[in-house]
């Protein structure tokens, strides 16, 4: 069985849990940092990134999450989760966890009243993926090691670097689970090729 956690400090946790369901997946609602050690993969949900960062610090998650990424365990960040992962944030002096070599711009598609739903072509996932954008950031720049998976109106909205996957939108708020199942497959392959991950302390 794969154990995939959803960081449950804030955001649409249960929607991610539902989207991750597969016969070989046990989902874990992660509220304590000691739960990380048993996980094969982890989702950072959408929400409010500044609030999430404050809670990450408050509950001692900062270094354990960075170590989780450094150990090569897959992480999937959506919307605010993307911002948490990014190395750089436009007009800010530093990023949050800084585990993925990308730059993001907050609220790039407008505030809440400009929220919208569309279909996207996502490389290796599908040609008509349902995507909900709510106060969505965009990926304004990527390192050469990062693979762009999807664009919307010429802007990058999904990317992958090895075991790290991130998108601007909320796939968990749709009935389309293909993006989550793509991440589940990433976790599967990671566990098969590296069965003994370094422990997170």
CA distances from 148 to 111, 117, 125 (A): 25, 20, 12
Q: What is the pTM of this model?
A: 0.92
Distances (CA, A) of 138 to 13, 51, 67: 22, 19, 25
Domains of the chain: 2-193 (3.40.50.880)
pLDDT score, position 16: 96
Contact 98, 77 (CB under 8 A): no
Give 3-42 as a DSSP string: EEEEE-SSS-HHHHHHHT--TTEEEEEE-SGGGGGG-SEE
Q: Please report the pLDDT score of residue 195 as a whole number.
A: 55
What's the rounded Cα separation, in Å, for the pair 189 and 13? Answer: 24
* 132, 173 Cβ separation under 8 angstroms: yes
Q: pLDDT tens digits, the chain, 201 residues: what are they?
A: 999 999 999 888 999 999 999 999 999 999 999 999 999 999 999 888 888 899 999 999 999 999 999 999 999 999 999 999 999 999 898 889 999 999 999 877 665 556 899 999 999 999 999 999 988 899 999 999 999 999 999 999 999 999 999 999 999 999 999 999 999 999 999 999 875 544 444
The C-alpha R_g of the chain, in whole angstroms, comes to 15
Closest CA to 161 of 103, 38, 75, 58: 75
Whole-number Å distance between alpha carbons of 110 and 72: 34
C-alpha 157/C-alpha 101 separation (Å) is 15
Torsion of CA 52, 19, 118, 49, to 10 degrees: 0
How many CB atoms are located within 10 Å of the residue 20 CB?
24
Residues marked active site are found at 79, 170, 172
Residue 129: Cβ within 10 Å count: 22
Residue with tokens 């909900």: 132
């Amino acid at each position: 069985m794969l154990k995939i956690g959803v960081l449950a400090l804030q955001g649409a946790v249960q929607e991610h849990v539902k989207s991750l369901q597969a016969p070989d997946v046990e989902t874990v609602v992660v509220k304590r940092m000691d739960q990380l050690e048993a996980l094969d993969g982890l989702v950072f949900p959408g929400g409010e990134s500044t609030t999430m960062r404050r809670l990450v610090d408050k509950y001692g998650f900062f270094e354990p999450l960075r170590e989780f990424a450094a150990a090569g365990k897959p992480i999937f960040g959506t919307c605010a989760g993307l911002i948490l992962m990014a190395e750089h944030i436009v007009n800010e002096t530093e990023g949050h966890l800084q585990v993925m070599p990308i730059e993001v711009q907050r609220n790039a598609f407008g505030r809440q009243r400009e929220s919208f739903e569309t279909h996207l072509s996502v490389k290796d996932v599908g040609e008509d993926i349902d995507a909900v954008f709510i106060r969505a950031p965009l990926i304004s720049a990527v390192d050469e090691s990062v693979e762009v998976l999807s664009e919307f109106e010429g802007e990058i909205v999904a990317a992958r670097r090895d075991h790290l996957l991130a998108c601007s939108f909320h796939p968990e708020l749709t009935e389309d689970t293909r993006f989550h199942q793509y991440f589940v497959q990433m976790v599967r392959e990671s566990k098969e090729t590296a069965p003994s991950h370094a422990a997170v302390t």
